[in-house]
Amino acid sequence: MARVDVVMPKMGESVMEGTVLEWKKAVGDEVEQDETLLEISTDKVDSEVPSPEAGTLLEILVEEGETVDVGTPIAVIGAAGAAPAEAAPAGGDGTRAATPEPYEKSYGGEAGDDTAAAAPAVREERGAEAAAAATANAEPAGPIPTRDEAGNFYSPLVRSIAEEEGLSLAELQSIQGSGTGGRVSKDDVMAYLETRGEAPAQPTSAPAPEPKSYGAESPAPAATPQARQAPAKPAQQPATRAQAAQATATPSTDTAGERVEVVEMDRMRQLIAEHMRRSKDTSAHVTSFAEVDVTGLVRHREAHKAEFQKREGVKLTYTPYFIEAAIEPLRDHPLLNASVEGTRVLIKKDYHIGIAVALGTKGLLVPVVRNAGQQNLTGLAHNVADLADRARSKKLQPDELQGGTFTITNVGSLGSLMGTPIINQPQTAILSPGAIVKRPVVVEGPDGSDVIAIRHMVYISLSYDHRIIDGAMAASFLAAYRQQLESYAVDTPLA
């Protein structure tokens, strides 16, 4: 089997780059065809990348946290049982150290800067320097494991730099990581190496080697023999450059004695935060509410859901009802199915309805049900089930998260009575059904008298862009929507 390059996949027409979030396999691992190899992230969606062939993962070319263009090689697969390039010998405990990447690729230099013939000599020289450094240090560095006893993960690139520079595992553990989940990145290691010799002088300690220059990194300034010595204790380590910049931009509010846990936002939460803030900055948000008696709808679903699942293979949830009921009110109120560009209003003639899908506690995605106005309840149920399943299993394509003209977020499915949702830009409105609950309400009896009855009630929230939609239009839309929801009955045909 020839070596097969794994490349950064194209995840949609508008997606030109991706970020490696996590490698699911390590160098030397056997992989099956279509087995998940790594997880990547774009500015639209996270996704798992399957292996194109069965075999052995020979090389990892892009470390976690790095962003590369679509089509860039990110790994190499070889024949099953093939030895990874430059395999490191096993450590004293029998643990095989992961294969370091070629020197040119690992440290940011352009591939091809040195000739292939010169590479072995360079590696031999680097290895000699690393061995000398390990001898000089009080604690030999030794092979760096993929994960330490505390569960900290070290990428092949970080391990390679650490072993070249003679860094011990204890030193790596003392570095505060700025990567995903607090992982130590190449920049963190390079920042540590630049300041490694800045601890107070210890005459009894042997001098540590000066850090070398890697790729575009500038070499550390020359230090006196007294300054170049053993690394500082973990508590004295300077922050990484990313952390220092963050501390400068946002002063810490922590005070002595407080119990504080610092949790970094993951990529999805950062994207959601940016999108929500931009929406608030863009649209003048107003929210209106309506109360709807959905007793007939509930009874219709209860009467048909078992037969529907047996016949169609998917569950009949409330979301398809909420989508179907919105189409006619949207036709009559076109400004709610529009977007704003400067002083122009773009009214959309198709009804592409976004549905918010919660991903546990990690966040949410809004896949789009396309051409919802041309589908019946059965078609909508299939579409909703498919999109929700693929959103939760990270199998959505970025294009399936774009092009929505109106959004429905069913906060009632999570138990909320009502909400004030933020508009999904560049749309102009978002609808939010709350939880359906039984309540005593006053209704008109058969003889026209008022009676108290137990009914299934729901609050509906509509957030809209007040730049083009006024309260009267919002109230009119909600009245039409209420009429549609209340029109369902047990004997309504299930198309």
Q: Tell me which residues are annotated as active site.
A: 466, 470
**DSSP secondary structure of 167-222:** --HHHHHHSPP-SGGG---HHHHHHHHHTTT-SPP-TTSPPPPPPPP-TTPPPPPP
In contact, 164 and 126? CB cutoff 8 Å: yes
For tokens 């109120």, name the residue: 333
What HEC string does 126-159 produce? Answer: HHHHHHHHHHHCCCCCCCCCCECCCCCECCHHHH
In contact, 10 and 44? CB cutoff 8 Å: no
Query: How many angstroms separate the CA atoms of 356 and 15, rounded?
Result: 21
In contact, 281 and 423? CB cutoff 8 Å: no
List 29's β-bridge partners, or say none. none
Query: How many angstroms separate the CA atoms of 395 and 388, rounded?
Result: 10
Peptide bond into 426 cis (omega under 30): yes
Supply the angle between the helices 156-165 and 118-136 in degrees, to the nearest 10: 70
